[in-house]
């Protein structure tokens, strides 16, 4: 392999730049030239490609967002779109692609490799941590910390006014971010899409228990996958007479300088991706399982399923007083 390209695709995540830097520098170290493909798969179709070297990647490790931009490309889902992309690869002499993104990005890489024979490797990058084959996705730790910091600030003011807060946390269809942040902020209740919600049991009872214990401020965390946090607030008002204030954290959770963990994961995973291409491998995704770096066939990775961490959920419920006391 003489020349490869790197792209970021789907939603952005803190640490994507650190991954780009790692891919470019690992390539150079292994005697491979690495070009930057801008705007996800769109750049592959239009030839929006830039050279990347040591200097261009300096200072990238701590920068949020992605300097290569990211996009969703409908055209890449068509045979003709991927044909154009293959022509771009021919023109630039690209023999392999590292795609940093989520499951959709992996699907795109797989289709491209099957149709055009270009080697591909995926790197997990999303704040949602919703990629089945890996315990960890680049951006998750930073997003958790960003959400937590915002919630801590909210808590200060809400506490002063003795109010109930309803905070909507990102995560698409998954509740990993909300669950983790809910535990870390000491929430009164946490609603996630993976668990069927019994409003009385999961929200009203914990609020009542907290009130009986003397609390006058309540923090209810809602994963965006559950539905509207305004509906949750209206229901709390109906059931309890409290007048909750809603905060939708939104895209602030996707920004910011990556945490130490995200910089490390991005750096390792980027390096591992290039190593796979250098070894002549294709259709792989890099991942983490039981704390170790591994890689999977893309087909296998896409067929995997992932639930929330049940242990974390159990501990959360025990600590908010939602579970029956153990007789030990």
Binding site per annotation, positions for Mg(2+): 103
- Cα–Cα distance, 34 to 93 (Å, whole number): 11
Q: Which residue is nearest to ligand ATP (CB)?
A: 104
> Which secondary-structure segment (H or E) carries 245?
strand 245-248
Interface positions, 79-118, toward ligand ATP (CB under 6 A): 101-105, 107-108, 111
- Written as six digits, the tokens of 144 are 């958790």
The active-site residue out of 128, 202, 262, 295 is 128
What radius of gyration do the chain's Cα atoms show?
Answer: 22
DSSP 218: E
Interface positions, 49-68, toward ligand ATP (CB under 6 A): none
Name which position in 5, 35, 41, 168 contacts ligand ATP (CB under 6 A): 41
The answer to whether residues 57 and 50 touch, using CB atoms and an 8 Å cutoff, is no
Nearer to ligand ATP, 140 or 313 (CB): 140
Nearer to ligand ATP, 33 or 103 (CB): 103
The answer to whether residues 170 and 139 touch, using CB atoms and an 8 Å cutoff, is no
Closest CA to 271 of 63, 42, 69, 100: 100
Residue 306, interface with ligand ATP (CB under 6 A)? no
- Written as six digits, the tokens of 157 are 């003011």
Phi-psi region of 256 (alpha: psi -120 to 50; beta: other; left: phi over 0): left
As measured in angstroms, the least distance from the Cβ of 251 to ligand ATP is 12
C-alpha distance across the termini of the chain, in Å: 61
- In DSSP terms, 248 is beta-bridged to 168
- In DSSP terms, 100 is beta-bridged to 8, 123
As measured in angstroms, the least distance from the Cβ of 204 to ligand ATP is 33
53 catalytic? Reply is no
Binding-site residues from annotation for substrate: 126-128, 163, 170-172, 224, 245, 251-254
Judged by CB under 6 A, the stretch of 4-12, 179-187, 238-246, 272-280 that binds ligand ATP is: 4-12
Nearer to ligand ATP, 44 or 219 (CB): 44
Query: Per-residue x/- mask for ligand ATP, residues 8 to 27, rule CB under 6 A?
Result: -xxx----------------
As measured in angstroms, the least distance from the Cβ of 81 to ligand ATP is 8
- Binding positions for ligand ATP, rule: CB under 6 A: 9-11, 41, 72-73, 76-77, 101-105, 107-108, 111, 126
Active site residues: 128
């Amino acid at each position: 392999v003489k020349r490869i390209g790197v792209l970021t695709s789907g939603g952005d995540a803190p640490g994507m730049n650190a991954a780009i830097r790692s891919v470019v520098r690992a390539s150079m170290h292994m005697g491979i030239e690495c070009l930057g493909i801008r705007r996800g798969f769109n750049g592959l179709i239009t030839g929006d490609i830039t050279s990347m070297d040591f200097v261009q990647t300096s200072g990238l490790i701590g920068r949020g967002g992605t300097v290569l931009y990211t996009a969703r490309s409908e055209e890449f889902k068509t045979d003709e779109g991927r044909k154009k992309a293959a022509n771009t690869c021919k023109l630039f002499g690209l023999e392999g692609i590292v795609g940093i993104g989520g499951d959709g990005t992996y699907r795109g890489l797989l289709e491209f490799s099957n149709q055009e024979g270009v080697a591909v490797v995926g790197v997990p990058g999303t704040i949602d941590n919703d990629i089945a084959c890996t315990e960890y996705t680049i951006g998750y730790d930073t997003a958790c910390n960003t959400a937590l910091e915002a919630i801590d600030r909210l808590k200060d003011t809400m506490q002063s006014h003795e109010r109930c807060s309803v905070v909507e946390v990102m995560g698409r269809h998954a509740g990993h971010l909300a669950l983790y942040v809910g535990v870390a902020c000491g929430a009164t209740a946490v609603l996630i899409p993976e668990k069927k919600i019994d409003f009385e049991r999961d929200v009203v009872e914990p609020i009542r228990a907290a009130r009986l214990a003397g609390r006058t401020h309540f923090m209810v965390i809602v994963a965006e996958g559950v539905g509207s946090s305004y509906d949750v607030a209206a229901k709390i008002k109906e059931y309890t007479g409290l007048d909750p204030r809603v905060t939708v954290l939104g895209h602030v959770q996707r920004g910011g300088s990556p945490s130490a963990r995200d910089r490390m994961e991005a750096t390792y995973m980027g390096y591992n991706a290039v190593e796979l291409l250098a070894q002549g491998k294709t259709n792989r995704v890099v991942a983490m399982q039981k704390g170790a770096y591994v890689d999977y066939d893309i087909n296998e990775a896409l067929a995997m399923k992932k639930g929330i961490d049940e242990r974390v959920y159990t501990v959360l419920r025990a600590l908010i007083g939602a579970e029956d006391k153990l007789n030990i």
